[in-house]
Every structure is written in C-alpha cells, then in structure tokens.
A and B are shown apart, each in its own frame.
Chain A
Amino acid sequence: MQIGYFTERPYRWVPEEELFRNQAYFAVSNRFFDRQKGSDDYNYYLDENCYAEELGFDAVALNEHHGTPFCMGSVMNVEAAILARITSKVRIVLVGNPLPVIKHPLRMAEELAEIDLISRGRLVAGWVRGAGSEQFFNNANPAYNREMFNEAHDFIIQAWTKPGPWRYEGKHFRYRHVNPWALPFQKPYPPMWIPGVLSLETVKWCAEHRYPYVGLGTAIGPTCDLWDYYADEAQKLGYQAGPENFGYLIPTFLAETDERAQELGRGFVYGGGQNAFSRPEHTLPPGYNSKEAIRRLAKAPGGSWLGVSADKLRQGTEGRAGANNYDDVRQKLLGAYQKAQQGYQLIIGSPRTVLPKIKTLLEVLRPGIFITFAVQGPVSNKDRMTSMRLFAQEVMPALRDYAREIGLRDPLERTPGSVPIQADVSRIPVVERGPLAALGLR
C-alpha cells in the first residue's frame, strides 16, 4: 500500500466570522490576504512536504483551487515543480489538475513532462473536472466541463505518445503544431490516479482507462457501492479490480492525547469546513453535473465534499440560508464535527485511537493507496508537524504490516487492470462490508 500525505495548504488567517458572513470560503474578499503571511505559508507548506518525505510517507499529494483561502495551491504545478527538485524519494501525486478549467492541454503536457523529468520519474498525474466554483473563477463553461475533461485527457496522452509534429483539430482544442520537446521521464507517461467524490461517470471512466480511483473522504457505505460499480465495470472489460484500483483520502489529525487532538481537530470545521467550500450558487453551476448525477445527489445521504451535498442541492433551489448568530453556527458545527467522527469521515485522536479506526477503513475499503488529509483551520505549524510525526512513527508501521497481511497491493506493485477475469465467473469482492453494521454505518 502506498501511504500519502495531503494538505489543502489552508490560508489560516481569515477571521472565522468573515467566513461565516460570506457563508463560504470561496468568494471571501482577497483584502484579507496578508502577503507576508502568504509568503511564510507557501514556504512552510513546501517544508511540510519535505518533512513528510523525511518521516517516510511514500507520496505527497497536491491539489489546486482558485479564489479561496481553503486551499492556497492555486497553481499546483508550481509547487510540484519545486518539490520535484527539493525532494528525492517521495512520489509527487497531483489530485489533480483541473483540465477543463485550465483549458490548455498542450501546455499541461509540457508542464507535467518537465516536473516528471526534474523529479526523475516521481510524478503521478491526476485529473479532475474542477469544483463548481472553479468554473466561475476561470470563466470555464460548465456545460462543456465533461467534454473538455475527456478531450483534454485524450489529447495529453497523444501529446506524450505520438511522435510530432502533428496537427490537432478537436472540438474544444485546436493546435497547429503539436511537438512537445520534453517528454515525461516515465515511459510512456506517468501513472494517473483519479480523485473523485460522487460521479458514477468518473468511476466508469476510470474503470475504462484502468486508472485507480481515489475517493476523497466519501462516506463509507456509498464508497463501497462505488467500488463495486468500478469492479463490475472492470469485469465487463475483462479484468479483476483489486486494491491497486482504489485509493482513499481521509481527514486525519493526531495529537499526544485524545483531548488535545479533539481540541485542535476542530480546525476541520473552521468556518464551516468542507461543507462551506462554496455557496450553493457556486457549487453547482448549470450543466456541470449530468442529469443522472443531479438525481443521485438529490437522494444521497448526508455525505459531502467541497460543499457538494444533497442539502446544498436543496439550498440551490432556495437561495442563501442566511445566519447571523455565529455562536449558534459554531454549536452546529461542533455537532457536525462529532457526527463526522462517528461516521469515520474524520479520524481524530491519539495514535492509540486513530490506528484501529484506520485499520477498519482499510479492512472495509481495501485501498491500495491511503492518503491522510491534514487539519484545516488555524492550527500551528508545530501542531501540524506533531500530527504528522505521530502518524508516521506510531501508526504508519502498523498500517503497513496490516496492509501486507490483508493483501493491499498498490498500483506500483501490480498494474491496475492486469488481472484478467472471464465475464461469466463471480469476481473477487473488492470491499468487505462485514464491519459496517457493527459500526452503525449501514
């Protein structure tokens, strides 16, 4: 199993009241951006990723968002390029580049090839459609989001594999001279891991391309359903899916004691946390989701990621909910904080508390990739690093043993899609739902 470290690189200095007032992270005015603090933070987060390498994580994962203090990585390839040079062992995992938002796949192919070359082959490319708010920020037409994603992806693969120069006349992209001089270090190109939240379309697409699908903190029950769906699709395509086809990223925070961890872990709901990523009108721009996805979302249970939830969808028809009493809001968030922990959507505590919980996640979901997502909110650098150290020293070794024991092979050990299966035999289960009932998780 590959174990990765991920942080949103939160800008930690916006007063919580401003986030409440804006009812979201996205669209908070950049007048709250302090250049000195921003400069310190960008440097710190690079150091933090180096520390992850030093502690023995296999991978560091980066993402990007735009126009939000939720995540400072607005151009993740810049950070990836620096990490390519200043680290030496860790895989640099991008989860992922928002292709329809960047709208320039040839440039993307060049940037990633450079990063892979500088890192001497440590890049894992990943692609996303970009959150709803990203469509607004980048003026990317949401009605073409899926089309542009597919076309950009297919183009990049060609740009890396088909000797140039050649001409490209696509629907959304056109290039008269495709001949990127620098090609990726890894042949034929870097592995690709695809993060996702709720889109069956993305899961099917991953199965078709034999790419590992990384669930971003998705609720456990629906994640099992999603992975079964992947495995069923995989069987139709003639291969047996296994742990190498799946990854899971989960908010995790540790401290020396449970009490301390609980206190600081509240940073995950600072300003509303993930559910306050963007307001309804920015979360679901028109055409961004397929009709089927909209219908599924309307029926989905409480799970949420980056503000995408059934509740948010309902609010989308109603308008802004409005709240003026911030103490009440904080109280509600604390309730949500506890509930998320009961549902294994937040893993918080001392190493002794955290280890069995993560083992349960591994037992049920059987991922070949496991990535911790560091705390959000105004938690100090020191406390963040303590959490990393406790995880790496007191949890990670046992997780590695356990992963070996239950056969969690990662995509670098076994190529995803390399195990053939006939259509008419029963496939090997990809999840183990046994423990869910006892945990009250359906």
Chain B
Amino acid sequence: MQKWDEETVRTGGVDLVMVKGGSGKPLLIFHDELGYTGWMTWNERLAEERTLLIPLQPGFSKTPRLEWIQDYRDLGAFYARMLREMGLEGIDAMGFSAGGFIAAEMAAADPKIFRRMVLVAPMGIKPATGEILDFLSMTIRTHLRATVADPANTAEFAKIYGGEMTPEQFEAFEDARTETARLGWDPFMYSPSLPNRLEGIRVPTLLVRGQQDGVVPRGCVDAYKAVLAQAQIAEIAGVGHRPEIENAPEFVRLVKNFLSA
C-alpha cells in the first residue's frame, strides 16, 4: 500500500508539489540535483517515526520553474518562505548533495530555521581539497553510475535507474539537469560566501558521507566542519554518494540517532 501522497502547496507564486508520508514530528527533506527518486527503504524506515515532507524543487518537472530563483541562495529563500507560510520554522531538515547546499543556505540566512540538520554529501562550499565532480559534462548514465560505489550490487540503484530510459524519464532528467545548470553552473555547485555566512552558526549538524563518494569529495565535508565546529561527521564505509540507498540500515540508524538526541 502506498504510504505517501503528493500535495500541492501554494507558496512564493507557485504550486509547489510536496511528497508527504509517515507520522510523527515533521522532517523536511531536500532531494538532490537529479530529482526525487521515489519512496525507498530509507524513507520507509524514517517515516515510522517522522512525517517526511519532500518538496519537489521548482523546475524539476512537477513544480514549475520560478525565473526569479537564480541561485541556491534564492532557492533557500524560497523554501524559507514556504516554511514561514506553513508555520514550520524550527523544523528538522535533511538535504542530499545539492539539497544539502539548499539547507546550508537556509541555515546561514536564519540560524533558527532548523532545530537540527543532516547534510548528506553536501555541495555548497568549495572543497578544501579535491573537486566536485563535473556531472554536467557527462552523460546522464555516466553521472548516475558515478553516484554509487557499486552500481551492479546496489539493489535500489537498479530499482530507481535500471532498464531502458523512457522518453519521459529522459525529459525529467533533462529538466533536473537544466535547472541545476541554471542555478549552479558558475561557480559550480558552491557559493564563495557561504562559509563566511555559515561560520559560527550553532545549529546541531550531522555531516554524512560515503567513504567512496565519487561526486562530492571529502574536502567539502571538511570545509563545512571548518565553519561549523559543532558538526559531527559520520562516514560510512564501502559506499559512495548515495549512502541512503547503498547502506540504508546504517544510514537510517545514524539519522535516527542524531535526530532523536
């Protein structure tokens, strides 16, 4: 039985599509630069204790693009307005990859907007060492394969991305990549000023990273840690950029522990 629904939230001049499922205190989730993957094991487990709110980013197929949103800071401001209008300030939040960038922008603008935040392999700050993979100059399939350490043996990877790509899927990926290019092309997926704006903010933060992440280097997590002294770093061995599907039990354990503290 489907345990989630799609709702429409009118905010900031657009009908925002929001996936909602589970019960308990709300947890706001920002999907990554490839778009929402569908309800997976990790959603199921977290939804046992929390109501998951997953807005589908403007410009990503279901929610229309908003021209005024021109970078991740703008996007953060849009979502902050959404939270104000929904009366959800002080919520817990989790962001994946570029979604982590969004959450960090929001926390930098308003340190009280989140009670706790989980940033999973977050982009947003120029890595202290290494480079964020230039996933816009590769084919979709190459990019997808780079997101997990072992595509052939990651069951949920095949569930999301296996088989022939339908024209609809291709268009959805093109939409996601186009909007990501629009917001994050230059500088590529980071804001030069974010570390300065984030520094000293006390929001409890969990930085999750797969040890074999080929998309976001360890240097990004280090750069976050450098300005968020209170942040905890959790590295998961044997997985890449998507620990939530590559090792869902460990991922869920870490997140539940952190959020219940």
Contact = CB atoms under 8 A, between A and B. Distances in A.
Nearest to B145: A319
A39 interface: no
A291 B177 contact: no
B139 interface: yes
B228 to A, nearest CB: 30
A319 B186 contact: no
Interface of B: 136-142, 165, 167, 170-171, 174, 177-182, 185-186
A141 interface: yes
A286 B180 contact: yes
Interface residue range, chain A: 20 to 34
A318 B163 CA distance: 11
Contact of A287 (B137, B170, B182): B182
Interface stretch (A161-169, A220-228, A277-285, A334-342): A277-285
Contacts of B165: 317
Contacts of B138: 281, 319
Given A143-B178, A286-B174, A317 B185 contact: no
A298 B167 contact: yes
A316 to B, nearest CB: 5
Given A286-B174, A319-B139, 11 more contacts: A142-B178, A142-B185, A143-B182, A280-B139, A282-B137, A287-B178, A287-B179, A287-B182, A291-B174, A295-B167, A317-B170
A317 B180 CA distance: 17
A320 B138 CA distance: 9
B167 A143 contact: no
Nearest to A316: B139
| B contacts with A: majority SS | helix
A181 to B, nearest CB: 32
6 contacts: A143-B179, A143-B182, A286-B181, A294-B171, A317-B170, A319-B142
Contacts of A155: none
A238 B181 CA distance: 39
A125 B180 CA distance: 33
A285 B177 CA distance: 9
B137 A285 contact: yes
Interface string A293-337: 011001000000000000000011111100000000000000000
A42 interface: no
A318 B174 CA distance: 14
B142 A286 contact: no
Nearest to B165: A317
B181 A141 contact: yes
Contacts of B170: 317
8 closest A-B pairs (Cβ-Cβ)? A286-B177, A287-B178, A143-B182, A141-B185, A143-B181, A286-B181, A319-B141, A286-B178
Contacts of A286: 136, 174, 177-178, 180-181
Most B CB contacts (10 A, CB to CB) among A281, A316, A318 go to A281
B139 A285 contact: no
Contacts of A294: 171, 174
A402 interface: no
A187 B141 CA distance: 51
A315 B177 contact: no
A288 to B, nearest CB: 9
A319 to B, nearest CB: 5
A148 to B, nearest CB: 12
A136 interface: yes
Given A281-B142, A287-B177, A294-B171, A144 B182 contact: yes
Contacts of B142: 281, 319-320
A80 B136 CA distance: 34
Most A CB contacts (10 A, CB to CB) among B137, B179, B186 go to B137
A317 B141 contact: yes
